[in-house]
Structure 1
Amino acid sequence: MASASIQSINNGNGDRITLRKISSIQTVSIFFLSIGLLNHVMLIPFLLSTGGRDSWFFSILTIGLVPVWAYILSRIIKNMNNQSLTKWLENRFGNPIKNIVLFFIVIYLISLVLATTKETIDWITTSFLFETPSLAIIIPFTLLCIFLAHSGMRSIAICSSVLLPIVVILGIFVATGNIPTKDYSHLLPLFENGYFHGVKAMKYSGYGLAELILIAFFQEKLTDKISRKVLVFICLGLVFLLLGPLTAAIAEFGPTLAEAMRYPAYEQWRLLTIGKYIEHTDFFSIYQWLAGAYIRVSLALFLITEVLNRKTEKMKVGILFAVGFLMVVISIVPFSNFKFLHVTQTFYYPGAFYFLLLLSAFLFIGTFIRSKEGKRHANETIQK
């Protein structure tokens, strides 16, 4: 596990401030858990329902966008040059535009927290704890996420580095253990419903990659610059995390049955047996899902406090508990799982995808705008 470093800087008043930073390797572990949950579990039903058998083919096509996306991300990160997102936006676009952009970013992050929480609680109550009140599940989960988010980016990175290896081992276990039940002939033939039937699935497969723009929200907390090669590696890893359970679901259940399932990735665990006498290994999936949800929600909560730029502890705690209250409310609202599925598939995930594309384009344009500090320094040099 890579260790996070501690660096000191001067705050301008002669005092030394200690900053706890994380490495790019730890950043990889954070995103493999956070976006990995999204790609590996949450998006699979949407891909199957929109693309059917063709969904795996069109998901592969997103690999062609990886070099362009990695270039855009690396340019944005490099141009920020260890400035916080708030300061960078103010230097490029001014205070009014900065506040508008930050407002929409906070709304997006809150929606990410609520969507992940609702999905997680629904899965638990419909798969394992049928009679357990939602409050008994959501309150401990919310408090743990608030605690980790309040502890800072370094704590999130360390937790990710500890949780990820076991998640990977379990993933390999279920993938290899189910090989006897897989029939990859179900992946063909393609284009039964037309050549462009599965194109609609690309907005879901691309959403996970688009979420990598979150790196720009905390890039100043990295000990080293994330290179373009590392970004390409993360993107390819996320595509693989999507293709693995997607192709496995079609190969194990066939495209028709897989499309009808609410949680195809979880159903793959229910197929797994060890020898003749050991079965019901699906409890391992609880660890995988909760590990991803824990890091995903905690990261979003932490970024909300960073984007809002509230320095005092009381303000940070107040913000965290306010969002935590919304997490509790969303989990107990009598909103059926299938209605939630329809809303997220039709409105939330497509809307979030287009928002991240617009935000990325906006930040990319900002890299071509000269900062106000640079203009001021140039004017002072000319006057001298």
Structure 2
Amino acid sequence: MRERLARVTLMRLAEPGDAVMGRLVASCGPEAAVEQVRRRVLDLEFVRWFASTRRGRPAEGTGEADARLDRILAAWAARLEAADPAGDLAAGERAGARLVVPGEPEWPTQLDDLLDSRPHALWLHGQANLRFACIRSVAIVGSRAATPYGAHVAAEFGAGLSERGHGVVSGGAYGVDGAAHRGALAGGTPTVAVLACGTDVSYPSAHHDLFEVVRARGLLVSESPMGVRPTRPRFLVRNRIIAALARGTVVIEAAVRSGALNTAGHAVALNRILAAVPGPVTSDTSTGCHRLIRQGAATCVTTPAEMAELVGAIGSDLAPEPRGPVLPRDRLAPEVRRVLEAVPARAGAGPAVIAVEAGVDLETVLSCLGGLAAAGYVEKTSRGWRLCPEKPSSG
């Protein structure tokens, strides 16, 4: 219980993704980290580590590093005075949320790949189990100002991946995020929305009903305490959790300056699979996707099956190769097709001429022509054999 209280306190002291606080916790544990902030005295080894990270920066020597660390410590201490971990736990319970911390059964161990930026704890609100929901999952991200094309593709990917047994992780925002969640809800696996605010805050407010359904059939996730409102930095920082939870990320519509590209960067840094869906070359909202593909950072995917193949086990989840329609003439024997190709479209030709053109003997031509005529491919005229008008040679 003491560790849980300490971690809830840390969620108030430092901003999400604060790697300095993350290193302090990693070096001495959450309870000792809170105590050091309370005493305003940090371990000497940690101070030396911080100074080493500042070396080589312009106009920042040991004295400047010490001053910077003093300012960081003062900010943590100021927040500590207002922290009420017991109150935060009670507020979470009242809201129907639950706290999960590293080492507990529901904690997804892939978050440990974030190292010093790993969340201290997570608030979860919903029926699904976070660890199980993310064992086999894909993150779908993209533009908030999605075009009808982007919203359609996101919904198709959400539904298609869910039908194939993949959980869908996204950020609950307008545009691609919302469409991906809605598509996933049509499938059989949970969808996980990682928020930049408390799980009791509906942001955007228009997604209040969507979040209610996600709570019932999936999970809302946040590293912020109850009541915390979103800020622009928190949107960007939460993207690392989206990328870390999933086995792969697919970007559907992203402008050159897009938060989705920030998620893509985290996916690459974490050695996760990254894919992108192409769009119209005239669309600014697909420029970021095209750049990822062109630079070789992302694999081009066009269907949920192709994304499932990327993140699936080797030899399984293989996507079918795109094929054109099978035409009736495709089922003809090779020899019969050769004879058919040799029959002229307009002017008739005799069997001997057709035999020379097809490169087969006369007996074979006569046999094939009879069958082709019965099937309606060719007809006999006064000038010889020709293709039937309703069966053009390009068919």
Larger radius of gyration: 2
* More strand, by proportion: 2
What TM bracket, shorter-length normalisation?
A: under 0.3
Greater RCO (Cα-Cα under 8 Å, separation 6 or more):
1
Q: Give TM-score scaled by structure 2 length.
A: 0.26
